[in-house]
Amino acid sequence: MAVIPQVADSIGRKAFDLFSSDYPEFVQRLNADGLEKCRQDVVYHTAYLLQAISLDRPIIFDDYVRWVLELFAALGISRESFVTSLHAIVTAIEDECGPQSAQQAKRIVNEAVQKTTPPQWSMPSLQPEEKQYMDFLLQGQRMEALHLVQELLAKDGDIRRIYTLFRNVLYQVGLLWQIGKINVAQEHYITAATQQVISHLYPHIFSQKSALSGKVVVGACATDELHEIGIRMVCDLLEMDGFDTHYLGANTPVRSLIDYAAGQAADAILLSVTLSVHLNNLQAMITSIKEDPRTKAVPVIVGGRPFYLDNNLYRAIGADYFAADAEAVSRILAGGN
């Protein structure tokens, strides 16, 4: 199958036209801005479905459908309209890719829809200091959040505890955005503010650094993947464990990554992806790494949400290992897998 984003755009736009014909009472209520957002949503649905087909991993689409239904329920968008748009995508896939692909798409769609039930939300509980940190940032009080973290750190000096706070709060913030309780600007602000808070912790991280292991680790996000804070925190914790980490950031061009890893004689390359729709990009990056004689023997360790859904997914895209956290990476590099 061709590159997912281009195919998704053409098929998704055709599917939107079919959806508009099949469900006119829905689209007639939308203004021009609403119509464009709806069209973009259908393209996005299409990209996730094509990704699941491409990797033969229906669970990717199951998870996506569950998320969309939760979000749409919070926004007051009907389940019926979403399911109708999915059937329009199946029809568009048949027109563009033939009956075999359409049959696979239909099966994945029907199974995903049947598995989901109307969402019944319950938020995971936060520790008091975690809730206080989140509340500060929800109110735009970045300095107060920083001072809270500094106070917690002064009590016991436990950086790992602080990073657990960040992880739990950011997960909660993602859920709040998912059900429409906060908007995307708030979610972006809290993430950016947390990155700024983390930058203030680096003197503590380096002061607590273990004896050098002698191993060089290069970390980056998949092409087009902009969710970077998770792998950044993993690299920070590995630095504390004595590894020489080089974090290259989000949306890293693969040739630059390979050149850098080769130049640093990397012992491992860490790659992260949060959105399943970027798995094809990640797979292409790994293929390039393995094809380059300078990096073909360097272990590639992947992490991110899609790999929690399917513990064998890392093999399907050509990676050597999946690691859920910094401790798992340390075990892998120590030879303990």
Do residues 321 and 332 make contact, with C-beta atoms less than 8 angstroms apart? yes
Q: Please state, in angstroms and rounded to a whole number, the distance separating the CA atoms of residues 306 and 313.
A: 8
The distance in angstroms from the start CA to the end CA of the chain is 33
CATH (one of 3.40.50.280, 3.90.950.20, 3.20.20.80, 3.40.50.2000) for 209-333? 3.40.50.280
Q: Where in the chain is the domain with CATH 1.10.490.20?
A: 4-115
- CATH architecture, domain 4-115: Orthogonal Bundle (1.10)
Write out pLDDT tens, residues 199-236: 999 888 777 767 667 799 999 999 889 889 999 999 99
Q: Please state, in angstroms and rounded to a whole number, the distance separating the CA atoms of residues 307 and 275.
A: 11
* Average pLDDT of span 43-50: 95
Rounded to 5°, angle at Cα 45 from 41 and 48: 140
Q: Where in the chain is the domain with CATH 3.40.50.280?
A: 209-333
pLDDT for 32 beyond 50: yes
Do residues 63 and 276 make contact, with C-beta atoms less than 8 angstroms apart? yes
What's the pTM value of the predicted model, to 2 decimals? 0.87
Do residues 65 and 116 make contact, with C-beta atoms less than 8 angstroms apart? yes
Query: In the structure, what pLDDT confidence band is assigned to residue 262 with cuts at 50, 70 and 90?
Result: very high
φ/ψ of residue 218, rounded to 5: -110, 130
DSSP per-residue letters across 109-175:
HHHHHHH-------PPP--HHHHHHHHHHHTT-HHHHHHHHHHHHHHH--HHHHHHHHHHHHHHHHH
Q: Please state, in angstroms and rounded to a whole number, the distance separating the CA atoms of residues 109 and 214.
A: 49
Give the three-state DSSP class for 208: coil
pLDDT for 2 beyond 60: no
Do residues 60 and 307 make contact, with C-beta atoms less than 8 angstroms apart? no
